[in-house]
Structure 1
Amino acid sequence: MKRALGQPQSASRTPLTPKVLSRAEHGISRDDISENALKVLYRLHNGGYQAYLVGGCVRDLMLGLHPKDFDVVTDATPEQVKGLFRNCRLIGRRFRLAHIVFGRDIIEVATFRGHHQSEEQPETLGKQNEDGQILRDNVFGSIEEDAERRDFTINAMYYNIADYTVTDFADGMSSIKNKRLDLIGDPHTRYREDPVRMLRAVRFAAKLNMTIGKDSADAIHELHGLLANIPAARLFEEVLKLLVSGQGLATYRLLREYQLFDQLFPQLKPLLRDNDSRENQFIEQVLINTDNRINTGQRVTPAFLYAAMLWYPLEEHCQKLMLEAGLNHHDAFSVAINDVLHRQIQRIMIPKRFSTGMRDIWHMQPRLAKRFGRRAYQLLEHPKFRAAYDFLLLRGQIEGGELLELADWWTQFQDADANDRKAMLNKLRGGQPAPRKRRRRRPKRDSSAPS
């Protein structure tokens, strides 16, 4: 099947030389593989199908890490997989996948991918746009074709449950040894097929402490604008993988180095030209704190992270509205929140459950400065107080001055007892006691009036 003139090539076919590693050579033990993944592998194998672990889990096991997920690949079609497992559901349109559900644990099973330009497969099963981006990919093939279509050399290693060997198709072991991340095939073609691979390159480089190979890195500098073609909903999940991984700071710095961060948060681009800017320092401190929380087993919320990313664009836009439209701060702040969020969701679709949390954190910032009377106690009881206080504290650490004094005041007020809190509030009023609220007297009842 010939390719039409001017049509982008559907896949970069790179002849691979597989190397089979014995159990003694690769060192992966079934004790390190999840019980549910083993159940899936053995049932596929016993059903007469090929069954392999593939990708990140094999790579991480090679590196002595503990994989979060175990992905399985097979020659069985999604419908055949569903026929073997009662607890299976089929998902996806762009990529048809089988999810085997064990409570909260999900084992993802994919069928070997084939090349789009195949005599055996109908052309309608695979589809690309004019930039070469794959839009639909339900084209099945052999394990060799599947390996050719993997993104990075370190992800083209297959653990075979039949004989416990690992087949290394793209010399991934050398990449691990040299701590270098390389794409399989021509980087320009592979990035055009799926621009998210540029984000994955940065994420793996940060996670595994690797250097992106020169050809793969140069192509990112040329093609980073293709991220504009990625649906905003998909980018939300990708950004979480990037920044809520425990290596958020290292990932952020690489994203900026390769001009990818500008594609994700365009409103921040004019504010991050200087590494010493308060905006950059604030984001880096937020990511340091996020990494520390994740690496110590504490929870983080995307609402806080996104609120931090967009805080200074929000402040700048608020000031602009006050100057140009003559709005007071309260009205300008509310309009700015809507405008900044609207612009951001054109690039990254933020679910409402998180955008609502962002709004709460932002609205609480000016309120935290108004502490007189009962307001301080009311704010302390607000369900979003802790997140708003943490946000204020980070701002104070970066900006200093009155903002840091305000954050320190709230730090003391939280831990103070009832008497100390009253004293702190009296001090705010210059030592004057709080004015007593006058009680309205009820009018005297006229005893002569009829009851």
Structure 2
Amino acid sequence: MQDSEPNSAPLRPGQPRVVPRPQHNISRANISESALRVLYRLRQENFQAHLVGGGVRDLLLGHEPKDFDVATDATPEQVRQVFRNCRLIGRRFRLAHVQFGRDIIEVATFRGSGSDDGESPERQVRDGLIVRDNLYGTIEEDALRRDFTINALYYDIADLALIDYAGGLEDLRAGRLRLIGDPVKRYREDPVRMLRAVRFACKLGFTIEPETERPLFELGHLLRDIPAARLFDELLKLFHSGYGVAAFEKLRHYGLFGHLFPATEACLAQEDHAFPITFVNRGLANTDKRLAEDKPVTPAFLYAILLWEPVRRRWEALVAQGMATTEAILLASAEIRAGQRPLIAIPKRFSLPMHEIWALQPRLEQRDGKRPYRLITHPRFRAAYDFLVLRAEAGEADPELADWWTRFQEASSQERARMTDPSPRRKRRPRRQKRSESSA
């Protein structure tokens, strides 16, 4: 981002800072073709059309945006009339998705400021929480309805200028994350903004402005008012973006992690020889590394890591009470998943593989006979093996066991036969051979 300071004269309230094209570094060459098609088509239909949010922010920082969002004065219905390849989504926050193959451009209508009494059918507020927000307004109102100043920057396709109503350019230069308006009120309107504050701080390496940071220590309980399915999506953005370790540490620092994973936090607070924290850190570091190497990751493995410690402790407690190992791990898994479900809705396509990763851990200790051959063909074997390796690296599982499975996968058929032969049989063979020679 260029360091020039256009329009340096004091601005009147509501007056935007406008940065003409020669004084900023955003180029249309770096904007996706699909986003440009949407912007130009809206302009042709005499609507305002602006690139807004994270795409503008990342372009100014020299990063490659993952998404491009568009803001306009066209209503969602009008957007759908303009684009045949458009569908409308959302009830709480009505949006238009314009699809070009796999590329989806999100188009939002300018939101109005409205009233906070929650009486309008288009904008409903309950105990400070916005449950519906489809009251439309001007670009000025829309800017001040956004969460962070650095996400309230607009790129106008009409003249290619930048428009800043909230001081976002200054915060961007300072590496500062600041909420627009009163932080407590804005967090109460949408508690997910607390997770977004952590995410942007980790992703961008920004500091959180003190007034924006202070409520993070106090308002974590509000996250329990958020739909469990939405929290699942938000946490994937946190932990599957390449900075999972930093996100985990910040969530615990602000006391937010305990409101999301109370059973895990209770175990981490007790710290059994530092196994829990070491294991979670190693697991998240492994995920960050795979993402950096452009390797696939799955939410099943992520949540298996985050919830393993309460499962392990319950499993061990049930075994100590006399329950069989296999039955105990299944019951422990079911109990912890049931307790977590009201907080974060993990879809079955991920919760079942997560359960299988846990259930295979005691089976990995069975190395005799045909069991290893059957186990290595299990669809979740590789994930369960990787999970065992992390446990061993954290000091929670036997490193020799993890090493045995590493060698078994690489061994020849003859070597595998020797590795799985029960020890009593190995001792008898030399004696039978000796008797045979004597008899001859």
**TM-score w.r.t. length of structure 2:** 0.91
When residues 285 and 433 of structure 1 are mapped into structure 2, their CA distance, relative to the original with a 3 A threshold, is: farther
1:46 aligns with 2:41: no
Could you tell me how far apart the structure 2 residues matched to 1:103 and 1:274 are?
Answer: 50
Percent identity, aligned pairs only, is 53
Residue 182 of structure 2 is matched in structure 1 by 186
Query: Runs of 4+ in structure 1 displaced over 4 angstroms?
Result: 14-17, 427-430
- 1:442 aligns to what? none
Unmatched runs of 5 consecutive residues or more in structure 2: 1-11, 430-440
Q: Is the 8 A contact 1:114 1:146 kept in 2?
A: yes
Question: CA shift at 1:224, angstroms?
Answer: 1.2
Match in the other structure for 1:26: 24
Question: Conserved in 1, the CA contact under 8 Å of 2:116 and 2:125?
Answer: no
Partner of 1:151: 147
> SS in structure 2 opposite 1:109?
strand
- Identify the residue that residue 439 of structure 1 maps to in structure 2: none
How much has 1:144 moved relative to structure 2? 0.2
- Note the C-alpha offset of 1:368: 0.8
Asked if structure 2 preserves the Cα contact closer than 8 Å seen for 1:426 and 1:433, the reply is no
Work out whether residues 17 and 170 of structure 1, in 8 Å CA contact, stay in contact via their aligned partners in 2: no
Which residue matches 2:4? Answer: none
How far apart are the structure 2 equivalents of 1:240 and 1:293?
15
- For this pair of structures, how many residues does the alignment match? 417
Kept after mapping to 2: 8 A contact 1:133/1:192: yes
Distance in structure 2 (CA, Å) of the matches to 1:158 and 1:380: 54
Structure 1 unmatched runs, 5+? 1-13, 435-451
User: How far does the alpha carbon of each residue in 1:109-158 deviate from its partner, in whole angstroms, 9 at most, with x for none?
Assistant: 00000123199x9811111112x000001110000000001100101100
**Pairwise CA distance, 1:204:** 0.1
Structure 2 vs 1, CA of residues 424 and 157 (structure 1 numbering), >3 Å: closer, same or farther? Answer: same
Does the 8 A contact of 1:426 with 1:432 survive in 2? Answer: no
* Distance in 1, Cα, partners of 2:419 & 2:313: 32
Q: Report the Cα distance in structure 1 between the residues aligned to 2:354 and 2:116, rounded to whole angstroms.
A: 48
- Counterpart of 2:218 in structure 1 is 222
Alignment pair present for 1:317 and 2:317: no
Partner of 2:229: 233
Deviation digits for residues 416-443 of structure 1, max 9, x if unmatched? Answer: 1111112222375573479xxxxxxxxx
Residue 419 in 1 paired to residue 417 in 2?
A: no
Structure 1 pair 122/220, CA: closer, same or farther in 2 (3 Å)? closer
Tell me the distance in 1 between the aligned counterparts of 2:301 and 2:390: 11
Partner residue, 1:278 = 275
What are the equivalent positions in structure 2 for 1:357-368 lying under 5 Å apart? 357-368=353-364
Indicate the structure whose relative CO is greater, using CA pairs within 8 Å and at least 6 residues apart.
1
Q: Residue 403 of structure 2 corresponds to which residue in structure 1?
A: 408
Structure 2 matches for 1:95-244, cutoff 5 A? 95-117=93-115, 123-130=120-127, 132-244=128-240
Cα distance between partner residues in 1 of 2:262 and 2:166: 36
Structure 1 Cα separation of the partners of residues 101 and 361 of structure 2: 40
Asked if 1 retains the 8 angstrom alpha-carbon contact of 2:34 and 2:100, the reply is yes
2:76 corresponds in structure 1 to 78
Q: What does residue 289 of structure 2 align with?
A: 292
Cα drift, residue 319 of structure 1: 2.6
1:205–1:212 CA contact under 8 A, matched in 2: yes
Q: Residue 383 of structure 2: which of 357, 382, 387 is its match?
A: 387
How far has the Cα of 1:262 moved from its partner?
A: 0.8
* Distance change (3 Å), C-alpha of 1:428 and 1:56: farther
